[in-house]
Every structure is written in C-alpha cells, then in structure tokens.
Amino acid sequence: MPLFHRIARIEKAAIPFTLDGIACEGREGDTVLTAILCHAERLRQSEFSGAPRAGFCQMGACQDCWVQCEDGERLRACSTPLTEGLRIITTRRP
C-alpha cells in the first residue's frame, strides 16, 4: 500500500517514470519523493541497517532521501522535480 494518497494535482499532466522496473505515473509538479511514495510504502532501505526510509526533513537538509537511477546517477528525492522517463531504483542489487 502506498504511503501517500493523492488528493491534489489530480488534474495535472501525467509524467511516466519507472520504479524498480515497474511503470508508474506521477503528476506535473511532483518531486521524485512524492511520486515514489504515491506508489510505494517506503522510499528506500537504509544502506546501514536495511530499515525502511521515507525521507525525513522533506526539504533537502537531512540527506535521507537519496535514490539511485538505473544509469548510476543519485538524486535527492525531496528536492528533485519528477521528469518523464526517470528510471529509479530503490532496492538493493545483489
């Protein structure tokens, strides 16, 4: 079950992206964090403890919301606008 439930911006243009290989859709004006949490119950797992993380400060100060794209680029999810075609990975690779 997603952590966030969209109640606003439902009329904004859809922006397709991929989350862990699954096609998803955000809305114009969403941050990467908002788009992910509208589809998942966590943002990522902690690289230290494996515990679920969902961002902390929501304003780019705490460093807790970094995610990785398939091409290796790292993004701060809470302050990066969602863009079409983003391919985000939140699960650990073996």
Tokens of 38: 């509208």
The domains of the chain are located at 14-89
Query: What was the pLDDT predicted at 26?
Result: 94
Query: What was the pLDDT predicted at 94?
Result: 40
3-state helix, strand, coil in the chain (%, to 5): 5, 30, 65
Query: What was the pLDDT predicted at 55?
Result: 75
Which CATH code fits 14-89?
3.10.20.30
Q: What is the mean pLDDT of each run of 10 residues along the chain (94 residues)?
A: 71 93 94 91 81 77 86 92 94 55
Assess contact for 21 and 86: CB atoms under 8 A. no
Instruction: Give the number of other Cβ atoms within 10 Å of residue 67's Cβ.
Output: 22
